[in-house]
Amino acid sequence: MNALIKSATIVDSKSDFHNETVDILIEKGRISKIAKRITNPRNYKEIQLDNLHVSQGWFDSSVSFGEPGYEERETISNGLKTAANSGFTSVALNANSNPVIDSYADITFVKSKANDNAVSLYPIGALTQMSNGEDLAELFDMRNAGAVAFYDYQKPMSNPNLMKIALQYASNFDGLVCSFPQESRISRNGVANEHVNSTKLGLKGNPALAEELQVARDLFLLEYTEGKLHIPTISTAKSVELIRAAKAKKLNVSCSVAIHNLVFTDAVLHEFDTNFKVLPPLRTQTDCDALIEGLKDGTIDMVTTDHNPIDIEYKKIEFDYAKYGSIGLESAFGALQNSFTTKKTISLLTQGKSRFNITEHSINEGEIADLTLFNPDETYDLTIDKISSRSKNSMFLGQQLKGKSYGVIANNKMVLNNE
């Protein structure tokens, strides 16, 4: 793939051309030249777009697509197209399909479905067989097939001894173990944050305590085993404090936060819109503020969309019975920019790759072209016609977003929204 990007402002602190507006020449999928002005050498495709900015390709550490088994929610093919249109060049795929991705063959299958795509798909294997929490899955075999981590998506590990064994075993091959932060015997059937609003609305409460107990337990197990732990989608102020203290002790722990948990609080539940039913639940403004502070000081390592397509019949029902989940790829950039500067937003969207052993490519001459193209200033309201996901369960519908992705250049391919 050959192309000439004209008049693009580079947003990449690792680039020699950070904050400069330049031309970028790409030949055979690699950046061959960066300069103030480049003459098209061989009639290559020229890319000229309004207020064009370019950064390293964005990464999402938690996406669900449905395939295999739930193709009505989303297919891998359309999911990766949606990711490209949204500015992501790499995504980590959760194991919550049917069958659950818990073997060498399963990892090989989903990787094969993503072949010849601009977006790189990195499978996360199930931590336990069929994600049932009883016996460890084939972790080493899945690692050899290409799994970047092990996680029973949104299913807490109730057995502390099994979590201890998982951390010990995976440490033999530098495996990354993920643990969903929820103590199920505390959360029980709670569907909303246990607080004033859940009481007013008559919704069963899921207390912050349920998350914090599990985080504390896993951090104790991590210290004992000296393993490698990732805690996905934390949502409470106390969780931030616990992980901050663990990092001060030099424990090998990382964590993420879902973008919607930074933006929304449980106050939005007054209309019982099931698009806002997510796990962990939306918390309080105090929690949101603590999560944002945790991102700023580095306690929280990365953001995620926690993109989770759910078909309409599981959302257009009573709040208590609706499935958890919201899509988030299309809204990620615009939502973050409502809370952070463009520089910080890009930093958040490009963090986390090294934790999942994914190679980073800076915007410098000689580097592989792994680029996101975007306009940071365009504002628009998110409507259903702007969503390319098969499922439309976005809590950002009707919200004004700031910033638009033009597409990506990656894996020697180009995907642009206007083509």
Tell me how far apart the alpha carbons of residues 26 and 38 are, in angstroms, rounded to a whole number: 11
Same structural domain, 183 and 36: no
Q: Classify residue 71: in a domain, yes or no.
A: yes
pTM: predicted TM-score of the whole model, two decimal places: 0.96
Please check whether residues 244 and 368 belong to one and the same domain.
Answer: no
Residue 33 placed within a domain? yes
How do residues 359-415 score in pLDDT, each as one tens digit?
999 999 999 999 999 999 999 999 999 999 999 999 999 999 999 999 999 999 999
The answer to whether residue 386 is domain-embedded is no
45 belongs to a structural domain: yes
Q: Report the candidate in 371, 379, 390 with the shortest Cα–Cα distance to residue 8.
A: 371
Same domain (yes/no): 131, 20: no
How far apart, in whole angstroms, are the C-alpha atoms of residue 3 and residue 172? 44
Nearest alpha-carbon partner for 85 in 399, 381, 333, 349 = 333
Shared domain check, 134 and 23: no
**Statement to judge: residues 99 and 244 lie in one domain:** yes
Q: Are 50 and 95 in the same domain? A: no
The residue segments making up the domain with residue 221 are: 57-356
| Residue 370 domain-assigned (yes or no) | yes
Structural domain contains residue 343: yes
> Do 122 and 171 belong to one domain?
yes
Quick one: 71 and 211 in the same domain? yes
Buried b (16+ CB within 10 A) or exposed e, 348-382: bbbbbbebbebeebbbeeebbbbbbbbbbeeeeeb
What does the alpha-carbon distance between residue 238 and residue 181 come to, in Å, rounded to a whole number? 12
Q: Dump pLDDT digits (tens) for 162-177.
A: 999 999 999 999 999 9
pLDDT value of position 417: 87
Q: Within this chain, do residues 170 and 38 fall inside the same structural domain, yes or no?
A: no
Number of structural domains (the chain) is 2
pLDDT tens, per residue, the chain with 419 residues: 999 999 999 999 999 999 999 999 999 999 999 999 999 989 999 999 999 999 999 999 999 999 999 999 999 999 999 999 999 999 999 999 999 999 999 999 999 999 999 999 999 999 999 999 999 999 999 999 999 999 999 999 999 999 999 999 999 999 999 999 999 999 999 999 999 999 999 999 999 999 999 999 999 999 999 999 999 999 999 999 999 999 999 999 999 999 999 999 999 999 999 999 999 999 999 999 999 999 999 999 999 999 999 999 999 999 999 999 999 999 999 999 999 999 999 999 999 999 999 999 999 999 999 999 999 999 999 999 999 999 999 999 999 999 999 999 999 999 998 65
Q: What is the pLDDT of residue 419?
A: 58
The CATH number assigned to the domain holding 48 equals 2.30.40.10
- The count of residues in the chain is 419
Q: What is the CATH number of the domain that holds 351?
A: 3.20.20.140
388, part of any domain: no
Q: Mark whether 40 and 175 lie in a shared domain.
A: no
User: Are residues 105 and 142 located together in one domain of the fold?
Assistant: yes
> How many angstroms separate the most distant Cα atoms in the chain?
67
Is 72 in the same domain as 12?
A: no
Positions marked catalytic: 306
How many Cα neighbours within 13 Å face the side chain of 237? 8
d(CA 27, CA 41): 10
For the purposes of burial, counting CB atoms within 10 Å of the CB of 153, is it exposed (0-12), middle (13-18) or buried (19 or more)?
buried
Q: Is residue 389 part of a domain?
A: no
